[in-house]
Structure formats: structure tokens, C-alpha cells
Amino acid sequence: MDVYKTLGREATGKVAVKLSTGEAGDTYYLNPNLIKDLVQSVNGTIVENNTAYGGSRANTAMHLQVAKDHGFTAIADVDIMDADGSISLPVKNGSHLKEDLVGSHFKNYDFFIILSHFKGHAMGGFGGAIKNMSIGIGSSNGKSLIHSAGKSTTGFAMNTPQNDFLESMAEAAKAVEDNKGKNILYISVMNNLSVDCDCDSSPAAPTMKDIGILASLDPVALDKACVDLVYAASDGKDLVERIESRNGTHTLDHAEEIGLGSQKYELVKLND
């Protein structure tokens, strides 16, 4: 609540709170009790989209069951945005994507809070605000489009050149921000810092301590600050290795290049 209020941008109208409900078996997803006050203070609807890789969230009924099992339906309504298919958002001057396919219910919301659990990721190196608004807001078909760097809307591409995939995430995120303008803000929770994503049904146990909660109106600055804090942590070597082995910071470079935000930031600490 403190970081939300400090941003000075009020979430108004019909508010979507985009987070990951976590795969069945994952135990490190965002605790509903931690986010409850924020979600309820804005009368928010928790939103998600189905996966492209199978698993326990590959269709709407299964996904809603996971959301219930993980406690999210107890604090707010949950909407699987691609339950009724996709809509297309234009990607301006993309190197790989001409469009971003998002869940069709995306159009029903006036304001988005991108509420991310920052952690590692098997393919992206790390997952934060940019991943949450690109892969996360992508419909199942949209996820396939990003993973294939614009070549396919079905299946789960595994042979896409790494930098093409990372750049496609940035381009999809830019399409979302272009659509919502100032009706979006970003909060990232740096706890349970596994090297694996909440999309992993059996993620590795965290080997570093929790860091805190960060927020910004700039998703690139926010992700950059989170990455820098991992590098600065005395116990962050495992997550640093995951980020570097996937060239994860290239996402930030491309995002900055296409105008999504800036990697320059001032870190203002609250509640010292």
C-alpha cells in the first residue's frame, strides 16, 4: 500500500491486477494475504491468461481451480482474460512482432496494475514487470507468438534465437503500454527469490534472502532496479548466474531502445 500511494497515480475505473496465480505445485507465488489490501482498495479484479505449454493452467476451468487452490479467489474476483479468445494490439516498429495477441477481456479494463513476483526464469533469465505484461497478458496464442518471435500462434517454440525471444517480450510489453497510456502502474515483490518462475510446478528453493517491494511508473526502470539489487546482494550468485546464462538483461536494452522506458532511475527508500 505504501509504494502504491507513493507513486501518486490512482487506479480508477475497472481495475485489473495482473499477477501470476502460480502453477499447481509451486509454493512461491505471491501470498494473497500480502496483496489483499491493495487489490481490495482499488476494487480490483485479478487477471490472468492461459498457458501455451500445457500444465495445470492450460484451460480456463483448470486455471480457475489453481487460482482457488492458491487462495486468490478468496480475496477478489479472478478473470482468465483469454477464456473467450484473443484480440490484437498493434506493435509499432517491432523487429519481430507486428501484433500482440492478448486475452479478449483486456478491453474490459480501464486500468492495469502490473503486480509482479520478481524472480528467475528458465527462459528469460528473470521475470519482472516486462515479462508480466508481455507473456503474462498475452493470450495462449499470444504467448506462442512471443516465444516464436512472431512466427507462430500455436505450440511452444523451443528453438527461437534467445535474443529474438527477449526482444519480442519487450515489444509485446510496449504494445500493452501504448494501449493503456497512463492507466497503468508497476509493483514488483522481491521475495521467495527462486531461480525459477512461478510457472514452474517444482521450482528450485530460493538461495537468497527476501529484498523488498519496489514500484515505478516505468517498467524498464523497475526491472533494472530489481536486477541491480540482486547483483548487489551478497547471496544473489545463483540468480545472477540464471540471469547471465539467459542474457536476461538484453530485454532491458531492447525495451529501452524501443521507448518502453529508461534504465536510469533513482531508488527512493521508504520506511527505513
Mean pLDDT of the 34-49 span: 98
Q: In the predicted model, is pLDDT for residue 33 greater than 90?
A: yes
| Phi, psi of 152, rounded to the nearest 5 degrees | -150, 145
* pLDDT for residue 89 is more than 80: yes
Give CA separation, 143 vs 97, 99, 249, in Å. 12, 12, 20
Q: What distance in Å separates the CA atoms of residue 260 and residue 58, rounded to the nearest whole number?
A: 29
| Residue 243 confidence (pLDDT) | 98
Under 8 Å between Cβ of 94 and 88 = no
Taking the C-alpha atoms of residue 100 and residue 91, their distance in angstroms, rounded to an integer, is 6
Residue 158 has what pLDDT? Answer: 83
Q: Can you give the pTM of this predicted structure?
A: 0.97
Look at 43-47, 197-201, 240-244, 258-262 and tell me which has the smallest mean pLDDT: 197-201
**CATH topology (fold) of 2-257:** Rossmann fold (3.40.50)
Confidence of residue 174 (pLDDT cuts 50, 70, 90): very high
- Is residue 248 within 8 Å of 124, Cβ to Cβ? yes
Report the pLDDT value the prediction gives residue 272, as an integer from 0 to 100: 64
Residue 10, amino acid: E
- The backbone torsions φ and ψ at residue 29, rounded to the nearest 5 degrees and listed phi first, read -60, 165
- Amino acid 53: pLDDT: 87
In this predicted structure, what is the pLDDT of residue 15? 99
- Alpha carbon of 68 to those of 61, 64, 75, 76: distances in Å? 11, 6, 10, 10
Average pLDDT over residues 34-62: 96
CA distance 130 to 185: 12
DSSP 206: P
* Mean pLDDT, rounded, for 168-191: 98
C-alpha to C-alpha distance for 40 and 50, rounded to whole angstroms: 24
Place of cell 475505473: 13
Arithmetic mean of pLDDT, 105-125: 98
Write the pLDDT tens digit of every residue in 125-173.
999 999 999 999 999 999 999 999 999 999 888 899 999 999 999 999 9
Q: What is the mean pLDDT of residues 243-254?
A: 98
